[in-house]
Structure 1
């Protein structure tokens, strides 16, 4: 088992265990609400990191979803997740919340290799 930073669970990707990451709801409330709603509607709660597939997943998930002035198109599962892509849940979110959350996620997961399974928890 690996010891992780405060706020993170533990995982050894060789065993298939899931890394738990506490999402900062107070800092990114709109993105957190979207993720929680998407999971409640049946989207995967687990993200298997697949950075190499992110561009294709993003193209697939956002295809046919028009841009909207003043908003980003937030997707769950995220494009960097193996579970992302076609059929992802899309919601319009204010850019500061969405981009801040994206940056936070990128930093929180940067040390984990592709194939790591991650579940965000909300408190």
Structure 2
């Protein structure tokens, strides 16, 4: 009986160790998005500081740093992400992930930022990504941050 108890305890501890190892490997794979991205795009913090801060903050809160380009769904994503978020005079509602991303839409992080910063940033990103087809996975890195 004592041997069975020891074997059971040993098997249980090994099981916990394996579960821990598998969970740690899975977490490192999901947070290491540069491995999963086709392109790394460095966003210019100095040109669009409000948008850069929103992207950084949203990613820190758990939003994806990777954008899978999905232009055909952008209108639907924008509608879903902004639903219930009131407009504010003098501000744009910035979404992260962006509406053009498969990861965008319902549950996106929304921040009120100045229209010039938001629209300039949107135009800059659109120009950078225009050569890439839908389905391309793009990791967004803020100016002075390194890809992880």
Give the CA deviation at 1:17. 4.2
Q: Which one of the candidate residues 56, 60, 64 is aligned to 1:40? A: 60
**Counterpart Cα distance in 1 of 2:45 and 2:124:** 12
Partner of 1:19: 39
- Structure 2 length normalisation: TM-score? 0.72
Partner of 2:71: 51
**Counterpart Cα distance in 2 of 1:117 and 1:32:** 19
Partner of 1:87: 107
CA deviations over 1:66-92 (Å, ceiling 9, x no partner): 000000000000000000000000000
For this pair of structures, how many residues does the alignment match? 108
Checking the alignment, whether the CA contact within 8 Å between 2:90 and 2:115 is kept in structure 1 is yes
**Counterpart Cα distance in 2 of 1:84 and 1:41:** 15
> Which portions of structure 1, spanning 4 or more consecutive aligned residues, are displaced by more than 2 angstroms?
none
Give the CA deviation at 1:21. 0.6
**Counterpart Cα distance in 1 of 2:44 and 2:57:** 16
RMSD: 0.8
**Counterpart Cα distance in 2 of 1:62 and 1:88:** 8
Q: Answer with 1 or 2: which has the greater Rg.
A: 2
Structure 2: gaps of 5 or more residues: 1-35
